[in-house]
Amino acid sequence: MRVISGKLKGRVFDGDNILGTRPTQARIKESLFAMIQDRITHSVVLDLFAGSGALGIEAISMGCCMCYFVDYQSKAYDVINKNISNLNIKDYSKVYRQEYSSFLKNIKEKFDIVFLDPPYDTDYISKSIELLLKYDLLNKDALIVCETSDMKNIPSNSSLNVRKEKKYGDKYVVIFENL
């Protein structure tokens, strides 16, 4: 896997071999970051269901001031820490091996950008958005970037505004904005 833009552009990192994860395809990642690039600099980012940390690493490369990486799998946790060390981005990173709902219930930080790319065929996107709103974890104008294989996993009755929706083959990216 490779960083596609920013100060780490071209750097290689691990993560395409974590059981149960499916890294965001390069073309989707490139398009997704083009849609939000004007919001990344100086932002506080949450990469929930982080896997290898690819989305958060890309956000750090593009200038976010802090990224929280959260994944429950020990292999993912180890890979994220290794990638952060190898890319020398510890000063911009906090890594948690924790179940997503427990993390959201206990964190006190507010986020500017949240990446939600959970295992497909789950209701984790809806549940995560519900908890982000319930615990008031989003700054005004925060973005929630969701990747899914099925639009039924995207909440339709959220108080968030849909900023962008795009289909890539059999995958969907939906970006919500907290107005």
- Output the pTM of the full model: 0.94
Q: Is 169 exposed, middle or buried (0-12, 13-18, 19+ CB in 10 A)?
A: exposed
pLDDT of residue 69: 98
Q: Where are the domains of the chain?
A: 6-16+39-177
| Residue 19 clears pLDDT 60, i.e. is over it | no
CATH superfamily of the domain spanning 6-16+39-177: Vaccinia Virus protein VP39 (3.40.50.150)
Which positions ≥6 away from 27 have C-beta within 8 Å? 168
| pLDDT (average), residues 152-161 | 82
Predicted local confidence at residue 120, as pLDDT: 81
What CA–CA distance (Å, rounded) separates 80 from 82? Answer: 5
How sure is the predictor about 22, in pLDDT bands with cuts at 50, 70 and 90? low
Per the DSSP assignment, residues forming a β-bridge with 68 are: 46, 94
Angle between helices 54-61 and 26-36 (to 10 degrees): 50
Tell me the torsion sign for CA atoms 122, 131, 108, 137: positive
Label residue 143 by pLDDT band (50, 70, 90): very high
Count of beta carbons in the 10 Å neighbourhood of residue 65: 15
Return phi, psi of residue 178, to 5°.
Answer: -90, 100
Helices (H), the chain: 26-36, 54-61, 74-86, 100-106, 124-134
Reduced to 3 states (helix: H, G, I; strand: E, B; else coil), residue 17 is: coil
Work out the average pLDDT over 31-39: 94
Q: Is the pLDDT of residue 102 over 80?
A: yes
pLDDT, average across residues 69-87: 95
